[in-house]
Structure 1
Amino acid sequence: MNTNQTVRDGYVGGVFSSVAAYSSAGSMPDCTRIVPVVLAGGSGTRLWPMSREHYPKQLIGVVGTDSLLQATVRRMSGFPAAWQVASDPIVVCGEEHRFTIAEQLRERGIGARIVVEPARRETAPALTLGATLAQADGGDAILVVMPSDHAIADVSALHGALDLAARHAQRGAIVTLGVPPRSPETGFGYIRVGAALGDGAHRIDGFVEKPAPEIAAQYVANGAYWWNSGIFVMRASVWLDALKSLQPDMHEACVAAFANGGSDGAVFRPCPHAFGRSPSDSIDYAVMERLTGANGVPEGVVVPLDAGWSDLGSWDAVWAAMDKDESGNVARGRVVFEGAVASYAHSEGRLVACVGTSNLVVVETADAVLVADRSKVQDVKGLVARIKAEHAPEADAHRKVRRPWGYYDSIDHGERFQVKRIVVSPGARLSLQLHHHRAEHWVVVRGTALVTRGDESFLLSENESTFIPLGIRHRLENPGKVPLEIIEVQSGAYLGEDDIVRFDDTYGRCS
C-alpha cells in the first residue's frame, strides 16, 4: 500500500482535511511549518466520578465551557505569525473515543486529522504515528506535541515558550517545556536543568521520578529542578531518526503499522497487527531520558513555561486552577455554600449544599457522588480500582452514554426491565441489529422516527409507539432536522449492552 495515497484518500470533507489540501507543501517552508499533535488516548480516573474510562477528563469541561480537548486544540490559535501553523492538527486517540472527539471538534469548527490507535501503547508510539502522518507529504514539519487534558491559564505566555522551543527544534534539538515549581509537588516528574543556552533555554541534565515530599522541597529550594509539563517540540524527522536509533523495535512496528494502514471514512487506522508488535513506553522513557547530543543522538533542551500550567491530575488541582470566592470556595453547577471554607463543589443536576465544610471536595453526577478531603484526593484512583474490582458500572461509564448517533440515558432498571431515554441526532441512525434476550417498546416523545422492523419500514410521530419482538432485526433512524427522542422500555432475561448482533452500521461497528 502506498502510504501517501492511503492518507490522501482517508481525510476528505467535513471536519477532516485532506493531506493534499493541508500540505500545499511547495508554498509552506518546512523550517517554519508547525503541526500540532494532540495525544488524546488517556483514560484518567483521578477526576472520578466526572472522568470515567469511556468518557475521560479530556472530553469534559473541567475548568470551562470547552472540554479540555477543545481547549487544547484551540490553544494554537494566534501563534506568532513567523510560523505557519497547520489549521488541521493531528489528534491521536483510541477507538472508543474517536466519535466523541470528532463531534467535539466539529462543534467548535475545528478541522483535524484523527489517527486511531489499534491498542494502547503509551505516548511514544502515539507520537510516532503522528510524526509519520505529518511526514506523509514528504515534508519535515516542526511538531508541537501536547497532552489533551491539561490547563493553561496564560496562552500568550505558552506561545512565547513554544516560539523559543520551535527555534531550538529548527536546529535539530528535541525540546520539552519545564514549569518552574511553585510548591513541592510529589505528583509530578521533574527535569534537572543543565547549562544555560543564552536565550532562556537550558540543556537537559536529567529527569527524576515523582519524589518524596522532603525531596520535592529540596528541588524547589534548589531552583534547578522544573516540573515536567509533558509538552514537546521537535522536527518530525528528528523524532523518527532518534526513535530508530534508540528504540528500533518501536520504530519498525509503528512505521509498518502506518505503511500498512488505511482510511475508514474520516479517520486513519494503522495496521493492528504491526502496531501490536510495538513496545509500550512513554516519550520520556523511550527517548527524552536518552538524549545526549552526541553520536547522532539529538540534544535535549528545556524551555521554561510560566503560564499557569496544570495537569489537572486531581480535584485539588482543579480547585487550585479556578477562580474562588472570598472564602476560597469554588462552585460549579447548582451549589450553595454556607460558612464553607476552601471547598470545591460540582453539581451535574441536583442542588449541592455545603454547610461549614472546610477543604472538602463534593462532586455530584447522575449516578455517583464523591465526598473527599482535599488532602486525600490522590486516593480517588485507588477508590476507582476497588469499584472496578466489584464490577460496578460506575467505574467505566456514566449513566448518560454517548454514541456516534447521539446518546442514551438509563433512567431506571430492575431485575427484568430497563428504561432508557434515547436521543438520535438529525440524519443519524442506529445499526441494523437484533437481540437474543430482550424485547423493546419504543415511544416517540419528540421528532419523527423511521423504524425498520423485520421486512417493514414505517414512520412514527410524537406520542406514537411500536414494539420490537425478541430476535427481530430492527433499526431506528432520525430522518428529520431536530433531535429524535424516544423512551425505550426493555424487557427480558438479560439486558446487557453486549446482547447486540449488528448486520449493518454506518459507523463501522458490525459484528
Structure 2
Amino acid sequence: MRHIIPTLLCGGSGTRLWPLSRKSYPKQFARLMGEESLFQASARRLSGEGFAAPVVLTGDPFRFIVTEQLAAVEMAPQGILIEPEGRNTAPAILAAALWLADEDPQALMLVAPSDHVIPDPATFRATVQAAAARAEAGDLVTFGITPTRSETGYGYLELAAGAEAGADTPQSLARFVEKPGAERAAEMLAAGTFLWNAGIFLFTAETLIAAYRLHAPDLLTAVEGALKGATSDLGFTRLEPQAWAGAQDISIDYAIMEKAENLAVMPYSGAWSDLGGWDAVWMESTQDAAGNACSDHATAIDCSGSLLRSETPGQEVVGIGLSDMMVVAMSDAVLVAPKSEAQRVKDAVSALKAKGVPQAVQLPRDYRPWGWYESLIIGGRFQVKRIVVHPGASLSLQSHHHRSEHWIVVEGTAKVTVDAEVKLITENQSVYIPLGAVHRMENPGKVPMVLIEVQTGSYLGEDDIIRYEDIYARG
C-alpha cells in the first residue's frame, strides 16, 4: 500500500469560537484543548507508519504560523499551498490533488480539516488505513462518525440498503443529508442508518481530478490555471490570484460528492468533534461534578453545566449561580450566552463588523513571521507595545513617516540598526528611533527577545511602514 498523504485544510476563520478564534488567528492555531494547537494535534494524528509528510493549504497571513507550529512538533511539510483568497473546500482540495498528481497521479490523499478533535489517534489511523484499498481501487471515500446524539449542527450521510453503520470496512453510501432540524435529527439517530459527515475524505489524486473533469469542468479549468501560474516564495507555492478568483466558491460536497457515483463511506465509531461551537468545547472538556468546565483562571460558584474560560493570564473569571451558560473572557472582549445559543456566536461577529470594531476580526496579540506584539496602552498620540522576537528572527528594515519609537529591552539581547549605526542592546538598555530613521530590530540570541516599544506621533497605524528589506518577502 502507498503511503497516505495528509492534506490539511487550515484557512478557515472559525467565527463560532469568537472571541478566542478570530480572522487574524483562527481556532486551528489556538490551544483550545491542551498544550498543542488543533493544527499541531491534527498533523501529529496523521503521521507515523504508513503516512507521508503533509501537504497544507492555508492563506497568506498564516503561512509562517503553519511552518512555526509544525517545526515546534518537529514536523516538516512536503508542500504548503497559499490560497490568494478563501474559495471554500472544492478549489482548495483540487489544487492539492493537481499539485500531487504532477509527480504521482496515484498519490493517496487524506483530506482533513485541521481543527477537529479525535482523542484516539491510533484507532483513527487504523480506520483510515482500512479504507485505503477502496480508495486505491478508484472510489471516493468519505468518513462518517457514529452519532451519539440527535445533533442539528452536523450534516449526515445516509447508508445504502444493506450497509452496516458499525462495519470496519467501507460501506455503500446512499446520499448526503443537509443539517436537519431537531425532529428529523432524532428520527435519523433512531433509524441507525445515518452517520455524521466528518468532512474527511480519502482518494487518489487521479480519481479526484477525474471527478472534477466530469462534474465540475469549469472549476478544474480555473484551478489548473492558478497552479500553472503559481510562484514559489520562500518554499511556499503561491497560487496565481487572477485564475484563482475565477474558481467558484463552493464546497467539495456540493461540487463533487453529491454528484459522484463512485462513493463509499468508512464508519468511525470513536470519539470525534469538529469543535463547531463553545457548546462543543464544553462537551469535550473535563467537567466537575456539576458539569462545569473551567479554565485555570475561572471559578464556578453554585453553577451547573456551564463553560467558564479566561484566555488572559492574570484575568480571573467568576460565575455565580449560572446554569448552562458559556462565558469566555479575553483582555479585549467577553462572550456571555446560554449554551443553547452557541451557533449564534457568528452573529455577534457580524454585528461587531457592522460597528467597525477591531475585536470582530483582530486579536489583541498580532502574530508576525518574526514573533508577535500586543498593544498595552493606546493614547491620542502615543502607544505602548510589548514585542517578542523569536531567536534568529528579524523585523524588516523600515522607516515611518509619522512616528518615532523608543525601545527598551526587558529580556534577551537586540541587535539594532538605526541608519548607519548597528549596536547590541541588552536587558535594561534602551534606544531611540527618530521619525524617518531607517531602522531594524533583530534577535541574535538563542532565547526569545522581549522589548517594550513606546511610539509617539501624529499617526500610529500599522500601515505607516516603508519596507526596504525583508527576509519574509512582505511588500
TM-score, length basis structure 2: 0.95
Written as runs of structure 1 = structure 2, the 5 A alignment for 1:450-469 is 450-469=415-434
Paired position in structure 1 for 2:19: 49
CA distance in 2, matches of 1:76, 1:456: 49
* 2:88 paired with 1:103: no
* 2:121 paired with 1:121: no
Once the two structures are superposed, residues 363-385 of structure 1 have per-residue CA deviations (whole angstroms, 9 ceiling, x without a partner) of 12222222221111211110111
Cα drift, residue 459 of structure 1: 2.4
Q: Residue 302 of structure 1: which of 259, 265, 281 is its match?
A: 265
Paired position in structure 2 for 1:256: 225
Paired position in structure 2 for 1:136: 102
CA distance in 1, matches of 2:260, 2:294: 44
* 2:116 paired with 1:150: yes
Gaps of 5+ in 1: 1-30, 293-298
Cα drift, residue 398 of structure 1: 1.4
Moved more, 386-395 or 272-281: 272-281
Q: Residue 464 of structure 2: which of 472, 475, 499 is its match?
A: 499
CA distance in 2, matches of 1:207, 1:449: 56
Paired position in structure 1 for 2:287: 324
**Retained in 2: the 8 A contact 1:161–1:177?**
no
* 2:345 paired with 1:375: no
CA distance in 2, matches of 1:122, 1:430: 33
Paired position in structure 1 for 2:355: 390
Once the two structures are superposed, residues 214-263 of structure 1 have per-residue CA deviations (whole angstroms, 9 ceiling, x without a partner) of 22222222222221100001111000111111111111221222233232
CA distance in 1, matches of 2:346, 2:245: 27
**Retained in 1: the 8 A contact 2:398–2:465?**
yes
Paired position in structure 1 for 2:3: 33
Paired position in structure 2 for 1:166: 132
Moved more, 359-368 or 94-103: 359-368
**Retained in 2: the 8 A contact 1:155–1:307?**
no
* 2:34 paired with 1:71: no
* SS at structure 1 position matched to 2:17: coil
- Structure-2 change in CA distance of 1:429 and 1:108 (3 Å): same
**Retained in 2: the 8 A contact 1:243–1:250?**
yes
**Retained in 2: the 8 A contact 1:35–1:134?**
no
Q: What letter matches 2:26 in structure 1? A: P
* 2:306 paired with 1:337: no
* 2:158 paired with 1:188: no
- Structure-2 change in CA distance of 1:138 and 1:376 (3 Å): closer
**Retained in 1: the 8 A contact 2:83–2:239?**
yes
Paired position in structure 2 for 1:21: none
Once the two structures are superposed, residues 310-367 of structure 1 have per-residue CA deviations (whole angstroms, 9 ceiling, x without a partner) of 1100100111112212111112221222222111111222122222221111112222
Q: Residue 202 of structure 1: which of 159, 171, 179 is its match?
A: 171
Once the two structures are superposed, residues 436-483 of structure 1 have per-residue CA deviations (whole angstroms, 9 ceiling, x without a partner) of 222211112222222222233222222222222222222111122222
CA distance in 2, matches of 1:197, 1:181: 16
CA distance in 2, matches of 1:479, 1:288: 51
Moved more, 336-345 or 193-202: 193-202
Written as runs of structure 1 = structure 2, the 5 A alignment for 1:206-285 is 206-285=175-254
**Retained in 1: the 8 A contact 2:141–2:170?**
no
**Retained in 1: the 8 A contact 2:105–2:204?**
no
* SS at structure 2 position matched to 1:106: helix
CA distance in 2, matches of 1:33, 1:174: 17
Cα drift, residue 78 of structure 1: 4.7
Cα drift, residue 272 of structure 1: 2.0
Q: What letter matches 1:54 in structure 2? A: S
* SS at structure 1 position matched to 2:86: coil
Work out the percentage of aligned pairs sharing the same amino acid: 45
CA distance in 2, matches of 1:74, 1:450: 36
* SS at structure 2 position matched to 1:195: coil
Moved more, 357-366 or 380-389: 357-366
CA distance in 2, matches of 1:134, 1:469: 50
CA distance in 1, matches of 2:42, 2:337: 28
* SS at structure 2 position matched to 1:309: coil
Once the two structures are superposed, residues 272-322 of structure 1 have per-residue CA deviations (whole angstroms, 9 ceiling, x without a partner) of 222222222111011000012xxxxxx111111111111100100111112
CA distance in 2, matches of 1:395, 1:502: 28
**Retained in 1: the 8 A contact 2:7–2:111?**
yes
* SS at structure 2 position matched to 1:385: helix
* SS at structure 2 position matched to 1:46: helix
TM-score, length basis structure 1: 0.88
Q: Residue 375 of structure 2: which of 406, 410, 426 is its match?
A: 410
Moved more, 302-311 or 455-464: 455-464
**Retained in 2: the 8 A contact 1:362–1:370?**
yes
Cα drift, residue 85 of structure 1: 1.7
**Retained in 2: the 8 A contact 1:196–1:202?**
no
* SS at structure 1 position matched to 2:56: strand
Q: What letter matches 1:275 in structure 2? A: W
Paired position in structure 2 for 1:295: none
Q: What letter matches 1:440 in structure 2? A: E
Residue-pair matches, total: 469
Once the two structures are superposed, residues 466-505 of structure 1 have per-residue CA deviations (whole angstroms, 9 ceiling, x without a partner) of 2222222221111222222111111122211112121211
Once the two structures are superposed, residues 63-112 of structure 1 have per-residue CA deviations (whole angstroms, 9 ceiling, x without a partner) of 12111001111112355xxxx321x1101100011111110110000111
* SS at structure 2 position matched to 1:420: strand
CA distance in 2, matches of 1:457, 1:108: 35
* SS at structure 2 position matched to 1:481: coil
Q: What letter matches 1:336 in structure 2? A: T
Paired position in structure 2 for 1:401: 366
Cα drift, residue 190 of structure 1: 1.4
Q: What letter matches 1:73 in structure 2? A: A
CA distance in 2, matches of 1:158, 1:462: 48
Once the two structures are superposed, residues 178-210 of structure 1 have per-residue CA deviations (whole angstroms, 9 ceiling, x without a partner) of 122222211111112113468643222111211
Moved more, 219-228 or 174-183: 219-228
